[in-house]
Amino acid sequence: MQADLTMGNLASALTLQSDEAALIAELRAGSEEAFSWLIARYHQPIYSLLARTAHDRDDAADLTQEVFVKVFRGVGNFHGESSLRTWIYRIALREASNQRRWWMRHKQQEIPIEQEMTEGRCGMPVRLKEMLVDPSESPYEMVVHAENRARVETALKQVPEPFRTTLILRDIEGFVYEEVAEMQGVNLGTVKSRLVRGRACLKTILTAPAASVCPPAPAAFEVPLGEEAQ
């Protein structure tokens, strides 16, 4: 019985590898149908990842589009060193990392829209942000509707990098340790260490009655992906 299961798993894995190889070939040939399928399959997962890892969640939609532009331009140089899914997620993490660096250099010098005041009805001052709120929900917001899920998402934002990204990739996105290590460009021991500290930090935030301080993070974390994710 165990042998039958093992053979079944092996056959399934070989089929998946064959299907992915065929998809990659179609993508490299410029097939519009293949790219449409790829976007339909990965758009929501990538958007959710970026909404959690980018410094400004409002930029997640633009970053998601940029990820697929990079995929379109770079698939010709993708030779299957990792799975297609892992490669796409590495590009997404790199875009989030670039966005955080840009925010640190430029965004902090601007006046936050939360602080910009304008005159509302009856001459009462209101924040400009309150007048620009889009009442419609984003795809991410449609999913995050339960109270407990919202608490976890809020607490997750308080977990410092690189622990937050590791938590997201392993515990939310479901990647195995080896995939997380490959995406972040670190060894397995580092992934496990970050995961332990990240989980402890998240637990502290969720159980503490007031704001809690998590273990300090190392210097700015960036995914060492080079000029283009390969």
Above 60 in pLDDT, residue 145? Answer: no
Would the pTM count as exceeding 0.75?
no
Contact in structure between 166 and 194 (CB atoms under 8 Å): yes
Least confident of 75-84, 102-111, 201-210: 102-111
Average pLDDT score, the chain = 74
pLDDT value of residue 149: 75
- Cis peptide preceding 162, ω within 30 of 0: yes
Contact in structure between 74 and 45 (CB atoms under 8 Å): no
Quick one: 160 and 126 in the same domain? no
CA 168 to CA 180: how far, in whole Å? 10
Quick one: 130 and 166 in the same domain? no
Q: Give me the number of domains the chain comprises.
A: 3
Quick one: 193 and 102 in the same domain? no
Above 60 in pLDDT, residue 33? Answer: yes
Q: Residue 81 belongs to what domain range? A: 1-109
Dihedral sign computed on CA atoms, order 61, 63, 64, 70: positive
Quick one: 97 and 1 in the same domain? yes
117 beta partners: 127
**Is 151 contained in some domain?**
yes
Above 70 in pLDDT, residue 107? Answer: no
- Express each pLDDT in 163-209 by its tens digit: 999 999 998 888 999 999 999 999 999 999 999 999 999 889 888 87
**Is 215 contained in some domain?**
no
| Closest C-alpha among 169, 142, 155 to residue 223 | 169
Instruction: With residue 207 as reference, give the H or E element that holds it.
Output: helix 188-207
**Is 28 contained in some domain?**
yes
Based on the number of CB atoms within 10 Å of its own CB, is 187 exposed (0-12), middle (13-18) or buried (19 or more)?
exposed
Above 70 in pLDDT, residue 228? Answer: no
**Is 226 contained in some domain?**
no
Percent of the chain whose predicted confidence (pLDDT) is above 90: 27
**How far is C-alpha 113 from the geometric centre of its chain's CA atoms?**
25
- Express each pLDDT in 117-135 by its tens digit: 444 445 555 554 444 444 5
Quick one: 90 and 185 in the same domain? no
**Is 174 contained in some domain?**
yes
- Residue 18: give its domain's CATH number: 1.10.1740.10
pLDDT value of residue 100: 78
Band (224; pLDDT cuts 50, 70, 90)? very low
pLDDT value of residue 217: 54
pLDDT value of residue 116: 43
Quick one: 102 and 135 in the same domain? no
Quick one: 121 and 132 in the same domain? yes
Mean pLDDT of 148-166: 86
- Express each pLDDT in 7-18 by its tens digit: 444 344 445 567
Band (216; pLDDT cuts 50, 70, 90)? low
| Between 214 and 34, the higher pLDDT residue | 34
pLDDT value of residue 137: 53
Helix (H, G, I), strand (E, B) or coil at 221: coil
pLDDT value of residue 39: 92
Quick one: 105 and 1 in the same domain? yes
